[in-house]
Amino acid sequence: MTDPSPARADAEESTGQRFVAGVLRSVLRVTLGATFRADLPVEKQRSRLRRVTRLTLPPRSAKFEASISDGIHGERVTARGHERAALTVLYLHGGGYCVGSPATHRAITGHLAARCGARVFVPDYRLAPEHAFPAAVDDAVAAYRGMLANRVEPGDVVIGGDSAGGGLALAAALRLRELALPLPRALVLFSPWVDLSLEQLPPAPAGELMLTLPWIRQCARAYVARADARHPLVSPVYADLAGLPPTLIQVGTDEILLGDSRRLRDRLQSAGVTVNYQEYPRRWHVFQANAGVLADADRALGAVARFIRAVEPTPAG
């Protein structure tokens, strides 16, 4: 299904929000556009991203602590009043499989913890080029196993992620299915990157603020390495998707990965998976990171909370 309720018509957007969106566009174009560059060494990309994302606004009620799940180091995120919540989100950060960390995505994970009333675990999964496929998938699956070992019911777990992390969330669910492990309650995917073959990647639209084809190609090469780019755990859009849990996809219309989201929606629907698909007009890649400032980001994360509440927990065992 497509849920149009969170999105707003441009005519209905307030003057204040148009101003906020314009300022954010300018800032993101300068900061992240200068970070995700194919001609910049990956270590510099990582350090720049760390500096830039310190400017984002996690909610004051959120608490961030170092944590470990089945040997996978990461960050536990809780919100005041929900420290013992049953609902747990395994969140996989984006960054083209090459950059990013739990710390760079606190604006998203903190707001998810607060809005969903959930505990969130963000694994610091291994990155390319040092660690190519399947390292990230193995780490995500290990983190999920660790949750189950700590008596978290699979029906209380949601796996989510943005960009490469969205593709990784889908790949992790596919790997869990292969291993005959219980699947999570739902998947939540923000602008998922699900085709690293790049065979159907269009030119960047005029509204794209941060991602370029050269940088995307560089990240794909680093992560895929000697694997097949169409391997279903590398590019889940080519996988048999039958039997996956209900899935929410959110994407902006001004981003290069819009086509990936639309193709994934169609493939999931053809496989009989329940899909809630949401496009946000004139919004950029992973705009949810601007929660607390941008009204559409707040609406999107509110839609996540409603989606999760509406999904019936999967039965134990």
| Catalytic residue set | 163, 255, 285
What's the rounded Cα separation, in Å, for the pair 260 and 232?
A: 14
229 contacts 296 by C-beta, under 8 angstroms:
no
Closest to 109 (Cα-Cα) out of 57, 39, 163: 57
What type of residue is 225? A
DSSP assignment of 32-84? TTTTS-TTS-HHHHHHHHHHHHTTS---TTEEEEEEEETTEEEEEEEETT-TT
3-class DSSP state of 238: helix
1/269 Cα distance (integer angstroms): 8
CA-to-CA distance for 215 and 98, rounded, in angstroms? 10
Residues 176/140, Cβ–Cβ less than 8 Å: no
Q: Which own/partner contact pairs does 263-268 have at CB distance under 8 Å and 24+ positions apart?
A: 263/194, 263/195, 263/200, 263/237, 264/170, 264/189, 264/192, 264/194, 264/236, 264/237, 267/237, 267/241, 268/241, 268/244
Q: 3-state SS string over 110-140?
A: HHHHHHHCCEEEEECCCCCCCCCCCHHHHHH
Residue 170: both structure tokens together = 């889908």
